[in-house]
Amino acid sequence: MSSALIRRLVSRPLSSRTLLYPNRNNYSTPSGPATTTSTSPSHSRRRLLTLTLTAFASLTAYTVGSVYPPPPLSLLFPSPAPAPPDPTSPDSLEYTVSLEKQLLSLPLLQSLRAAPDAKEWYEARPYKNFPEERRVNNLTAGALRGPGKLAVPPVVWVRRDESESFVFIHVGRGLCGHDGIVHGGLLATLLDETMARTAINNLPERIGVTATLNLNYRAPTKADQFIVIKTKLGEVKGRKANVVARVEDMKGTLLVEAEAMFVQPKYAKLLNTAVMRQVMGEPPKDDHEPVLLADGQDMKALRREK
């Protein structure tokens, strides 16, 4: 009986079988010509307004970014700077005088001068009394000296026992590797010279050469700013002296860390140390030497002996 029912269903026409699939027409594509949906005027106005606001925001962001670039962008895409000027021009001379005034009035230097232990320190100016015939062939005092480079001699604030120092230096735009960033090799040179000063003043013959110099660059050093190099004496053993140092900007940001060892050569006694002292900057001579009197000693007689 069931097989007879199946034969009856199969034998029906195709049109009658659509009753078994009532949702079949839902998946068919309607016939007839294609219709076009028209865009309303309000929708066009909204699109135009959106494009206008987007363009205005992009232009504003570009303008603000150009005037006040974020630090990462200013490092990756620095604005080009003019070449160092002629050191003999009136503008260069005026610029150098201005930098000298700024250097001597740096807040950190002023605070060191006013510290309670200021009498335990002295101030010196390396290269200031360097003979001209020697200066012209010196790297930092000659080739690198001038506006846009090392415009003014550094100021050194040194503990009288020569165990540590603060060295204030201005680095210009002509000392860059990547535009706007001071060359790492230049910073190594400045560290080598400032650390050598601390080491040499603690060696027996007051002369030495660099044996090792290790640097860790912590942050980019921007050009056209004042920096301070802080040196501190480490172990001194015979003809060897170790020194550590750090480079900071005037906000206290750590830029470079360094450690070095300096060795006094065996032929040191044959060298002229007077020139070295002129390069490094000597402590000022005290015209009022303390007078130590024994009990009952006549001060007037002592003065006559002098």
Range of the domain at 193: 90-280
What's the pLDDT band for 272 if we cut at 50, 70, 90?
A: low
Residue 147, burial from CB neighbour count under 10 angstroms (0-12, 13-18, 19+): buried
Question: Does the pLDDT value for residue 177 go beyond 60?
Answer: yes
More confident residue, 52 or 10: 52
- Whether residue 210 lies inside any domain: the answer is yes
User: Which of the two residues, 90 and 229, has the higher pLDDT score?
Assistant: 229
Contacts of residue 177, defined as CB under 8 A and 6 or more positions apart, other chains included, come to 183, 184, 185
pLDDT of residue 5: 53
Is pLDDT of 175 > 70?
yes
| Residue 222 belongs to a domain | yes
Of 43-57, 141-155, 228-242, the least confident: 43-57
Which pLDDT score is estimated for 50? Answer: 82
Residue 305 covered by a domain: no
Three-state DSSP string of 172-207: CHHHECCCCEECHHHHHHHHHHHHHHHHHCCCCCCC
Regarding predicted confidence, which is higher, 101 or 289? 101
Domain contains 120: yes
Q: Is the pLDDT of residue 303 over 60?
A: no
Average pLDDT of 213-221? 97
Q: In this structure, is residue 72 part of a structural domain? A: no
**CATH number of the domain enclosing 182:** 3.10.129.10
47 by Cβ neighbours in 10 Å (0-12 / 13-18 / 19+) ranks as: exposed
Residue 12 lies in a domain: no
pLDDT-derived band at 3, boundaries 50, 70, 90: low
With tokens 């000597």, the residue in question is 282
What pLDDT does residue 235 have? 96
Sign of CA dihedral 134, 153, 203, 263: negative
Contacts of 175 (CB under 8 A, 6+ apart): 144, 149, 150, 182, 183, 186, 223
Question: Residues 34-50: what's their mean pLDDT?
Answer: 67
**What are the φ/ψ torsions at residue 182 (nearest 5 degrees)?**
-60, 135
Tell me the torsion sign for CA atoms 103, 109, 114, 119: negative
Residue 81's pLDDT is: 62
Burial (CB < 10 A; 0-12, 13-18, 19+), residue 171, is buried
The yes-or-no verdict on residue 117 having pLDDT over 50 is: yes
Note whether residue 61 is domain-resident.
Answer: no
In a domain, 42, yes or no: no
Task: Count structural domains, the chain.
Answer: 1
